[in-house]
A and B are shown apart, each in its own frame.
Chain A
């Protein structure tokens, strides 16, 4: 009871303190809710409109040696392709990104064609360029279509069924839900932004209230009051968690608002209120883990500067699972729901893609998440028991 009162007193004071520090507050509360939706909505809209324009716009295609295959050129022009004169230096044009893709028709093309032998064509591209992928795929599709069509006609002319030459027929059935397909673009950045908002949302407050308080020499008088050290540090953690939670809720509401305003994102993501409630529940352990970890680190730091320099690697930490999954994609397995960052990443994606999270997954996740937070809280309060903590300078 006495301890709880001390926790509440410290929490109220820390919140009052930060709410009077307008600039820090605006940065802590406003930045993430403002920037994250803008970034994601912007990226989503940009990506979609670019893809659409690359698919629907006439494909501008520089062709080297167009005189060797006039029929092919005529056919391509009938397929929404605009044939251009080739640049002087082909390799330089690709390297400088002046052209996305160039088609080269060799002088032997006509000869081979007439003999009904495979006629060589060359597609010149830079496979590492993301934005050239759609034009290259379009061209490949068109050329193989032309090849198939001509091949069938040749077989028919020789009295053979074109089916004879087609030993197998491949048909793709994509079982990804429509929501999952839409969410693909966002699947890399959205979890990261949300996890960061939860993980480091209380950073400004907790660093100031621990390392900062020590540096400003007000920790020693505070520890001379009868309030238990555990209660004092818990009050500070509670205040920082409140701040992080407010920041997180504002970010999620900004998403909701953004989704209402931008039809693109609304179609790409599941942003109903039940989905948002699930996201809050997923990120709640992250709020506690981040704040207690920062408290632990800041309590061991000799100065505010040292405490702040931890932020660099803490910012990278939530990115690790995304990077690992990118390099080494693995199937969703039960153990993943116990690994911090990875579990949040997976669960957020499940919610956004409209997939079901089973009760067992929820249970494992919440026990592991809150368990780690509890462990870190215990470590942070232990740190506060240390004698040298209070002595500044």
Chain B
């Protein structure tokens, strides 16, 4: 369960201040997939970075399973599994060693790591390349390794930043099934995307972000009703006020 209340964040570069996140609030429940939908540069990644404690919000509050991100970031990171926008893997380590490294940093023992690795590699279908060094991995293999590594500590909450970016159709389908599986296990799943079809196909709850603000939120049906459009695509365009971000 993740609660986000009125987040603000701005960046100053060369004396120009840009408001990246300007009052974002939403709620992501357990056993649901929540999608952050918005065009590139809308503030999705910055919002997520504040959720997983990489950045400090200027104002506003984030509660993960009731723990305040501002007061106890380390405990928050323990209950979070994160696939950031940057998902580099260590190329001189095998996929298994990459996963084990993060398991150890989470304080898990070797037996637990081995058992979780086994389970995740089956769920993500990575047996073929699990013991290969990640140098020369395809984009899909790298993403799978990064996801497995992010979930090795069996977190209740999962945050994924554009997880399907750069993946082919088959891998994307496999990944969607995996996210549904996570939801089925009662986890709270938050992911961001700029592709409307993907969000529509997967999410129980959609939060549309544009220019650092939440412009609409709710289930697909609620969004259609809210904007008075029958078609979700039209609803999205109406909500963000432009046609950018429609192209998948």
Complex: how many Å from CA A223 to CA B88?
13
Check B105 against A225 for contact (C-beta < 8 Å).
yes
The verdict on A5 contacting chain B, using a C-beta distance below 8 Å, is: yes
The verdict on B106 contacting chain A, using a C-beta distance below 8 Å, is: yes
The contact string, 1 if C-beta is below 8 Å from chain B, for chain A 9-20, is 110010011001
Complex: how many Å from CA A387 to CA B93?
27
B128 to chain A minimum Cβ distance, whole angstroms, is 21
Check B54 against A225 for contact (C-beta < 8 Å).
no
The contact string, 1 if C-beta is below 8 Å from chain A, for chain B 63-86, is 000000000001101101011111
A208 to chain B minimum Cβ distance, whole angstroms, is 10
Check B106 against A21 for contact (C-beta < 8 Å).
no
The verdict on A6 contacting chain B, using a C-beta distance below 8 Å, is: yes
Closest to B53 in A: A224
The verdict on B118 contacting chain A, using a C-beta distance below 8 Å, is: no
Complex: how many Å from CA A275 to CA B102?
43
Interface residues of A in 217-263 (CB under 8 A from B): 217-228
Check A221 against B88 for contact (C-beta < 8 Å).
yes
B64 to chain A minimum Cβ distance, whole angstroms, is 12
A167 to chain B minimum Cβ distance, whole angstroms, is 78
Name the B residues within 8 Å of A9 (CB-CB): 101, 104-105
A191 to chain B minimum Cβ distance, whole angstroms, is 35
The verdict on A54 contacting chain B, using a C-beta distance below 8 Å, is: no
Name the A residues within 8 Å of B146 (CB-CB): 221
Interface residues of A in 16-34 (CB under 8 A from B): 16-17, 20-21
Name the A residues within 8 Å of B104 (CB-CB): 5, 9
Name the B residues within 8 Å of A225 (CB-CB): 77, 102, 105-106
Checking A20, A228, A390 against B54 with a beta-carbon cut-off of 8 angstroms, the contacting residue is A390
The verdict on B191 contacting chain A, using a C-beta distance below 8 Å, is: no
* 10 sampled A-B residue pairs with Cβ under 8 A: A5-B104, A9-B101, A10-B105, A216-B91, A218-B89, A219-B88, A225-B102, A226-B106, A387-B54, A391-B54
Check B82 against A227 for contact (C-beta < 8 Å).
no
The contact string, 1 if C-beta is below 8 Å from chain B, for chain A 363-382, is 00000000000000000000
8 shortest interchain CB distances as A-B pairs: A218-B88, A217-B88, A217-B86, A224-B82, A220-B86, A225-B105, A216-B88, A20-B92
Complex: how many Å from CA A5 to CA B101?
12
Task: Assign chain A's interface to a size class.
Answer: 20 to 34
Known: A9-B101, A20-B92. A221 touches B86 (CB 8 A): yes
Task: Assign chain B's interface to a size class.
Answer: 20 to 34
The contact string, 1 if C-beta is below 8 Å from chain B, for chain A 198-222, is 0000000000000001001111111
For the complex with contacts A13-B93, A16-B93, A224-B150, 14 further pairs of A-B residues with Cβ separation under 8 Å are A5-B104, A13-B90, A17-B90, A217-B87, A217-B88, A218-B89, A220-B84, A224-B54, A224-B82, A224-B84, A225-B105, A228-B74, A387-B54, A391-B49
Name the B residues within 8 Å of A16 (CB-CB): 92-93, 97
Complex: how many Å from CA A225 to CA B79?
10
Complex: how many Å from CA A218 to CA B87?
6
Complex: how many Å from CA A136 to CA B79?
81
A148 to chain B minimum Cβ distance, whole angstroms, is 74
Name the B residues within 8 Å of A220 (CB-CB): 54, 84-86
A76 to chain B minimum Cβ distance, whole angstroms, is 70
Name the A residues within 8 Å of B150 (CB-CB): 221, 224
Complex: how many Å from CA A392 to CA B86?
8
The verdict on A57 contacting chain B, using a C-beta distance below 8 Å, is: no
Checking A10, A21, A221, A390 against B87 with a beta-carbon cut-off of 8 angstroms, the contacting residue is A221
Checking A2, A10, A226, A392 against B77 with a beta-carbon cut-off of 8 angstroms, the contacting residue is A226
Check B86 against A21 for contact (C-beta < 8 Å).
no
The verdict on B236 contacting chain A, using a C-beta distance below 8 Å, is: no
Name the B residues within 8 Å of A391 (CB-CB): 49, 54
B161 to chain A minimum Cβ distance, whole angstroms, is 10
Name the A residues within 8 Å of B86 (CB-CB): 217-221, 392-393
Complex: how many Å from CA A82 to CA B49?
85
